[in-house]
Each structure stands twice: as C-alpha cells, then as structure tokens.
Structure 1
Amino acid sequence: MKRKKQIIVSVTNDLVSDNRVHKVCTSLEKMGFEILLVGRKLKTSPELTRTYPTHRMHLFFTQGACFYAEYNFRVLLFLLFRKADVLLANDLDALTANYLASKIKRVPLVYDSHEYFTEVPELIDRPRVKKIWEWLESKMLPNLKHCYTVCDSIAAIYHEKYGTAFKVVRNIPVGNVESHKNKKSTQEKIILYQGAINIGRGLEQAIKAMHFIDDAQLVIAGDGDIKEQLEELVSTEKLENKVRFTGRLSIGELAKLTPTADLGLSIEEDLGLNYRFALPNKLFDYIHAGVPVLVSNLPEMTAIVEEYNIGEISHSHHPKDLAQSISKALINSDKRIIWMENLMQAAKELTWKNEEKVLKSIFSAFL
C-alpha cells in the first residue's frame, strides 16, 4: 500500500475555535493526506476531538516577544525531528520555524496568511515591533512558492510588495443551508457579534449603541485582549440587561448560537490595511446561518453585502448612528424578507467546496 503523504500544519493558537484551520485540515485529509496539526495548550484549553491527530505544546510564555520566540523555537525543534512531506504555516507568527525547517530539511512549504499581519491594529502604535515583523516578512515571503490568503485585496498587496503570487481561499463555512429554518420566535431581538474580542472591532461603540435600542440584546461571543475592558464598560454604562458575553465557544457551540440571531455584526474600524481589507469568517458564518448582516463601509465586506443584498452597511461608528443602522436592520420587515431570500441564494453560491478547489490546485502537486 502506498504511504500517505504527511502534512504538518502549524498555528500559534490552541486549535479550539480556529474554524479556518480545521476546515483546511479536513479538506486536506479528504484529499488523501495524513494531517498533524500543531498548536499550543493553555491552562483554560478544553480537550479536542478531531478526525486527524493534533499536538499542543505547553509553553512557559503566553504572550509577547518571549512567547513568539519560544513558540517558533519549539516548533522548529519539533519539525526537525518529525517526518513530513509538506509543511503548512498559518500566519506570519508561525512562519519562521516552518521556513527554517523547510530550508534545512528541503521540504515544501505552504503559507496560509489569514490576515495582513503587519497591519493589524495591535501593531499600528508599536513601530519598533512592527518593523521586526516587517523585516521577517521581507526575508521570507519573496522566497515562497505556494501561498494563499483570505481575499483578493491582500493577495494583490503581497504580490505588489514582494512579487509573490498568492491564491485566495476565503473563510467560507462548509455550510448547511437547511439551518436557515431553525429560527427562534421570541420577541426580544438578538444582535450577535462573534469572533475575536480585540481593538478595532467596533465593540465599544456597539455596546454604547444599546442605550438607544429597545427590545434587543447584544450577544458577544468570543474572547480576546479587551474582553475584561468591555465587561467593565457594560457595568459602567449599566447595560447588563442589554449586553451578554458568552465567552469563547467551540466550533459546534457557535454553530448552534449563530442561527438564533436576528442581526450579525461585522463592524471593524478602518484601523490599518488589515481591517480595511477584512473579509472575516463571521460574515460568511452569518450568511450560512441565514442571519442578515450589518457591516462597516469597507471594500471587501461591502462588495459581498451589495452583491447579494443581504443587509445594511454602516457609514459611521458613532453610537447613535450605529444604533440607527441596527434598528433599521431589525425592524424593516420588507427589507428583511428580501434579505432572508437572498441569504439562501448566497449560501448556495458561497460554498467551501469552491474554496477547496483552490486548495486542491496547490496541494495536489504534493500527492
């Protein structure tokens, strides 16, 4: 029997809620590869059940420069002493170890850039740290042959900057159009934000907007750097009865929550090129769950909403303006009827099967 080719997939998170990586691993497994997914394990990380093997490292450092250095050193050692036919690095923070291992062992390397890493809001006001990441990027990306990212805009930037060709694999769910029918019938409306709770996601403004919205609850599903800060804001603004935090949910738990919403928020602020060209997986999750959306007036998200007519576009993050946009999206029954019909069609067209074709075009050469 012919031996299966093995791909070692690396990512810096604890694997629990990274749906993109899970989808890619599952697709590659279906192609006939043997997958090993490598990440880290935190004290709060729950156990995993996957169809493919995983390896999570206990690290001494959990954030900052020491974490990235320890992670890449540990992953490099791991890769040097494990057999692999292909390496797949997810994002710039996992690329260094994979790049060095690829050169030392002469193993093909594939790079999945989930975002425009050097333009994330967390680096905008940290020029020295940003320069370090940009230097690392400039040393590695021009030498990569197999790359893909989340949208056309970021692919174009990388090609212009480094001459490196990037294909596009969007963050589209595997999909279950039938889930659109599982709608709740309670009077209180649910406004949902799901994803990382970090700066620049419009969450502070969304919370304050709840002062001007009646008969609705804002549900924030996820975890991140500013979660505690937002919880304090809710308390200060006395909005505990209007804003609820679920904490981080597993992929399965989130799949049950999303269809219960009446409106899905993806209201990133224009803080650097990474957010300007954002095309987040939550937008496609809302679509596949049959949930109308409110998005920021940013090019990639606006293009999807306008093409399929599935929600509203917010032109302001001021709490009162945001509240007006949310209220319009919740109470305009004529528009909502059209949006619901269009969401069904969008979910049929925006499928992971189409994105898998791009993965196959990259990885079939290694079979």
Structure 2
Amino acid sequence: MLVDNGVHGDSRVQKAARSAAEAGWEVILVGILKGAATEDSWRIGDAEVRLIRMPRRLTHPVAHRRALLRRPLAYKPGPESKRRLNKLKARRDDLNFRLSEIKVNRAAGAPRWAELAGKARLAAPYLVNKAAFKWVKLRAAELRRLQESQQDPNSRIDRAALRFWQRLHGDRAWRRLDPELWDFELAFAPVVDELRPDLIHAHDFRMLGVGARAVMRARAGGRDVKLLWDAHEFVPGIIGRPTNLRWLPAQVAYVREHAPYADAVITVSSTLADLLRTTHDLPEQPAVVLNAPPRALTAEQRTTPVPDIRAMCGIDAATPLLVYCGGINPSRGVDIMVRALTRLPEAHVALVSVHPNGKAPIMYELEELAAELGVADRLHLLPYVPHWQVSAFVAPADLGVIPIHHKPNHEIALITKFFEYAHGGLPMVVSDVRTMAEATRATGHGEVFRAEDLDDYVRAVRTVLADPEKYRAAYDRPGVLEQWTWEAQARVMDEVYTRLLPNHPGPVAPATTGAATPVVPEQRATVPVR
C-alpha cells in the first residue's frame, strides 16, 4: 500500500492495512515521514508501516520563472535580492560605525580638520551605498510584482502558457505544469522496487502514478504485478489553489495519463464510481468501499477508555448537544452552527476538531464569532479522539451535524463522519449535498437543510430535537448499520485482491486473539463502546 501522507491521520488507510493483514495478506504500508519525527516504522495490527522521507527535489516552474519580457529588471526568484539587500545593510552599518567613531573623537578633543577629513572620506561610499539601496529595492519590488502577476488566476500570459503546454503535450503536460509530482516518484520508486510486491494498492491520485510506473518496471523485468487504484476523491472536483492556475490541470492530466494502468479501481461511493468509469472510460465499474467505521474494537483498541463528551463540555444529560467532527475550513460550513446558537437558546455545540498541534486559525475566528454573538459559553472546541473511538465518543450527543457547502467533491461523497454518527446512533442534520442528502432521506435517520441557509438549518435542528427517537429508530431496521460497517467494506476489498491475484496462495484465516466488542445501541445512554 502506498499513501502520500504520514498515515497517522488517515483512518481509511489504517483500516485498509489492518483488515487486509487480518485477512492473511502480507501488507507493507509505505507513507511519508514529515517534520522532525523520528518514528519511521511501526505496526497496525499485522500490517507493517514504513515512513520514508520525501525531499523536495523539484519545484514548481512558477517558483523559478524569471519572465524577462514582463519584468526585465526583476531579480531571479530566490534568495538573491535578500542577500544583496542584507549586504548593503551591513555596509551601511559599517559606515555609520565609522561616522560615530569620528564624532566621538571630535568630542574627545580631536581637531576640527580631522573630523571634516574623515567625513569627506565617507561621503562617496555613503552616496554609492544609498544609490545601490534604491536600485536593489527597485529590482526586489519588480520581483514581487512579477510573482504577484504569476499567481494571478486571470493572467492572460499564464493562461496562454497553460493552453500551449496542454495542446503540445496533452495529458503529459503535467511534467511542465507541476514537476513537483516527480518528488513522489523519486522518493517511492526505489522503495517499491526493493519490496517486489505482487499487488500495489495505490491510495488516492498521487500514488496512482507512482504505482503505475512501478508496475511497468516490474513487468519489464518479467514480474506480473497488479495495480489497484483506491480513488478517495474526484480530482477534477478538487478546489484548486487560487494562486496557481496550473496546479489543478496538472493533477487532472496526471490522473488521466495513469488511470489506464490500473487493473482495478475501488472508491468511496457509488456516485464517484459512476463518475470515474465515465471520465476514464474504465472497462468495469469500480467497487465501492465506503469510509465506514469498524463495528467491533480489537483487544488493543479496547484498552483506551472513551472520554465523556458531555463532561468535557461541562453539561448534563438533559442539555441539547449538537456535535461536529473533523477538520474545519470555510467550505465545511461550521460557522452556521455557531450563528444558530442565538436561536437555539438551550443548545450547546461541540466541535471535535482540535489537532494535537493546536487550534487552526479558523477556530479562533469561530471563537471570536461566538463571543460577538454572546454564545461563547455554549461553544466547545474539543480535541480529536482515535478514529475507532469517534462513534462511541459522540454517541451521548443529541444530533450530529454535517453542514458542508455545495462543492463538486461534497456532492458525490459519503464522508467518514456520516457513518461515524450513524454508528453512534446519532440523528443527523445534513446539508442538501447530493449523495449524502439522498442517503439521509432514504434511511430516515435525519433531516436535510439547504446549505448555507440559517433559517432552514434551525428548522431542521428543531425538528430533530422535537422527536430524536423517531430518527434513532431508523438505525434499528435490519441491514442499515450492517451495510455501513468497515467489516463489510473489507470483504469487498478482499474480493478485489483475490480477483487480481487468483493464482496467489490464498489468504489464511487470522488467529483470534480475543473477542471483539460490538456496538450495542442500548449503551448510548451510558458510555458506549464500539
């Protein structure tokens, strides 16, 4: 398995590695070592995790384009302008030091002519340094203007350059548009080649290219290696980088070039499966492996007690509690939960979103908004819990909220928190993004509101709070939660593995090291364990 992150925060990758190993496959998961961390190898169940360093060998062309025709006086991007400016500052400081020495000597009784002679000697160097300062600042300012224009998404020159490379190279244009993608290849290729795998499970789009190239090298050497692409999202639907109009077209081209090399594709929803098959003209429908939580805990996972969310918020069991889990950014729409508190006077909001490294800047903005609205005492920012504890942690709340905005990838996903809320027995209030709204209406476990509509959000919340047991009862229908378990998804993944390697020695039954603990709906009122 290959993944372009550090594994720790990626529950889908962790679950996939653990379950494949439990099914008897030998699993080595290779990710990226970030920061100053020293840990580079550990185990997830019977799966081995190896983190490798990925030096930034190649930079985006915007970082080093000089563009002489647009800004001929601009310095070449890089440290040169700062180096020159600091050199001039040092020279100025030296001249000031010598001038101060002349003044001190004069005050100590040195003759007047010595002072005048000393100042005369410094006049020319001082004027030259001052003129050089102006010249360097001018060229540095031209560099800033050049970089601003290069990051302007409406730049006609850059748009023309983008179209030129696309027409010249087609899907191979990513090599010019975003050569940083090569960094993944340079880091992962020698590791994969040394491992000599039978199957490469490429998580998400960056690893698709790495896996495709490794497969071709292996086949050229006489080994028949299979490639499974695990598509976590629809790349054309990713929100691009607003200051780099080349980034998203490069990623789209990268995926289009390498998608045909996949021997099988799995993805996170049936809607995305349809899109992938149409977009890439796949010979068969991708298998759907939902981002569902496991229904049972391992013996290892049961050793950590589940925190009490209501105790952390300082509220009793009778106080209405609305919960949101996961990262926060403007398109997640979490601010509507804070604004609605002014119209839900008894309710509290818990955002289970604080990373171990601390609060994200947007969290401080939400706290300021809550203070301005006079509801700061009812907004609680709580730390993340391990992914296997999320359902049990949020179960004592009254409802789970998913207020995401209409974005291309939001429309097609059944996101992880959707299933985590369900396994906690939580009624839901979700925005009307396509796939999630359809699932909520079909199952009847929550209410749907118009995204970004405060009035409709308040209506949905009040409706659920008026009769929460009506929505909880939807989970008791046979088959509802069973289809939303990771165990069911792992079976689909194992079937794909077996189909790709039909002649491979069959997986062995995993040894039982202790009974797993299932989710018990009746435990919701106390401290549920999943």
Instruction: Report the TM range for the smaller structure's normalisation.
Output: 0.7 to 0.9
| Match of residue 48, structure 2, among 39, 47, 53 | 53
Q: Residue 80 of structure 2 aligns with which residue?
A: none
Measured after TM superposition, the shift of residue 66 of structure 1 is 8.3
1:309–1:339: 8 Å Cα contact kept in structure 2? yes
Q: Deviations over 1:195-239 (max 9, x none)?
A: 232341111322322332222222222368993123223224414
Q: Residue 520 of structure 2 aligns with which residue?
A: none
Q: Residue 171 of structure 1 aligns with which residue?
A: 291
Higher Cα radius of gyration: 2
Q: Check 1:297–1:29 CA distance in 2 against 1; reply closer, same or farther (3 A cut).
A: same
Is 1:149 aligned to 2:267, yes or no? yes
1:312–1:329: 8 Å Cα contact kept in structure 2? yes
Q: Check 1:46–1:191 CA distance in 2 against 1; reply closer, same or farther (3 A cut).
A: farther
Comparing 134-143 with 185-194, greater Cα deviation is found at: 185-194
The CA distance in 2 between the partners of 1:248 and 1:76, in whole Å, is 33
The CA distance in 1 between the partners of 2:333 and 2:30, in whole Å, is 32
Q: Residue 148 of structure 2 aligns with which residue?
A: none
Q: Check 1:183–1:209 CA distance in 2 against 1; reply closer, same or farther (3 A cut).
A: closer
The CA distance in 2 between the partners of 1:242 and 1:60, in whole Å, is 44
Measured after TM superposition, the shift of residue 287 of structure 1 is 0.7
| Match of residue 210, structure 2, among 87, 93, 97 | 97
State the TM-score, normalizing by the size of structure 1. Answer: 0.85
1:90–1:111: 8 Å Cα contact kept in structure 2? yes
The CA distance in 1 between the partners of 2:181 and 2:402, in whole Å, is 28
Q: Check 1:168–1:117 CA distance in 2 against 1; reply closer, same or farther (3 A cut).
A: same
Q: Deviations over 1:46-78 (max 9, x none)?
A: 9766212111234456x9978754344212222
The CA distance in 2 between the partners of 1:126 and 1:318, in whole Å, is 31
Higher RCO, 1 vs 2 (CA within 8 Å, ≥6 residues apart): 1
The CA distance in 2 between the partners of 1:216 and 1:128, in whole Å, is 45
Q: Deviations over 1:229-284 (max 9, x none)?
A: 23223224414322222244322443442212211112221122x11112111111
Q: Residue 135 of structure 1 aligns with which residue?
A: 253
Measured after TM superposition, the shift of residue 140 of structure 1 is 1.0
Secondary structure class of the residue paired with 2:348:
strand
Q: Residue 362 of structure 2 aligns with which residue?
A: 229
Is 1:216 aligned to 2:342, yes or no? no
Q: Check 1:343–1:38 CA distance in 2 against 1; reply closer, same or farther (3 A cut).
A: same
Q: Residue 5 of structure 1 aligns with which residue?
A: none
| Match of residue 261, structure 1, among 397, 407, 424 | 397
Comparing 229-238 with 36-45, greater Cα deviation is found at: 36-45
Q: Residue 230 of structure 2 aligns with which residue?
A: 112
The amino acid that maps onto 2:365 is: E
Measured after TM superposition, the shift of residue 314 of structure 1 is 0.9
Number of residue equivalences: 350
Q: Check 1:49–1:242 CA distance in 2 against 1; reply closer, same or farther (3 A cut).
A: farther
Measured after TM superposition, the shift of residue 286 of structure 1 is 0.8
Measured after TM superposition, the shift of residue 126 of structure 1 is 5.3
Is 1:351 aligned to 2:485, yes or no? yes
| Match of residue 298, structure 1, among 429, 433, 436 | 433
Once the two structures are superposed, the pairs formed by residues 1-367 of structure 1 within 5 Å of their partners are: 9-43=1-35, 50-51=44-45, 52-59=47-54, 69-106=182-219, 107-122=225-240, 127-164=245-282, 165=284, 166-175=286-295, 186-222=317-353, 227-238=360-371, 239-272=375-408, 274-330=409-465, 332-333=466-467, 336-345=468-477, 346-365=480-499, 366=501, 367=504
2:309–2:394: 8 Å Cα contact kept in structure 1? no
Secondary structure class of the residue paired with 1:245:
strand
1:12–1:93: 8 Å Cα contact kept in structure 2? yes
Measured after TM superposition, the shift of residue 308 of structure 1 is 1.5
1:212–1:323: 8 Å Cα contact kept in structure 2? yes
User: Alignment identity in percent?
Assistant: 19
2:403–2:431: 8 Å Cα contact kept in structure 1? yes
2:309–2:393: 8 Å Cα contact kept in structure 1? no
Q: Check 1:235–1:311 CA distance in 2 against 1; reply closer, same or farther (3 A cut).
A: same
Q: Check 1:364–1:82 CA distance in 2 against 1; reply closer, same or farther (3 A cut).
A: same
The root-mean-square deviation of aligned C-alpha atoms, in Å, is: 3.0
1:36–1:55: 8 Å Cα contact kept in structure 2? yes
Q: Which runs of 5 or more residues in structure 1 are unaligned? A: 1-8
2:352–2:382: 8 Å Cα contact kept in structure 1? yes
The amino acid that maps onto 1:174 is: P
The CA distance in 2 between the partners of 1:226 and 1:271, in whole Å, is 25
2:11–2:387: 8 Å Cα contact kept in structure 1? yes
Q: Deviations over 1:296-355 (max 9, x none)?
A: 11221122212221011012413343233223322x12xx22211212332234333332
The CA distance in 2 between the partners of 1:68 and 1:132, in whole Å, is 9
The amino acid that maps onto 1:344 is: D
1:291–1:343: 8 Å Cα contact kept in structure 2? no
Q: Deviations over 1:77-119 (max 9, x none)?
A: 2212223111111111222222211111232111101111331
Q: Which runs of 5 or more residues in structure 2 are unaligned? A: 61-177, 220-224, 298-307, 311-315, 505-530
Comparing 107-116 with 74-83, greater Cα deviation is found at: 74-83
The CA distance in 2 between the partners of 1:69 and 1:248, in whole Å, is 33
Comparing 144-153 with 253-262, greater Cα deviation is found at: 253-262
1:212–1:320: 8 Å Cα contact kept in structure 2? no
The CA distance in 1 between the partners of 2:348 and 2:322, in whole Å, is 6
Q: Deviations over 1:23-68 (max 9, x none)?
A: 222221122111111222344879766212111234456x997875
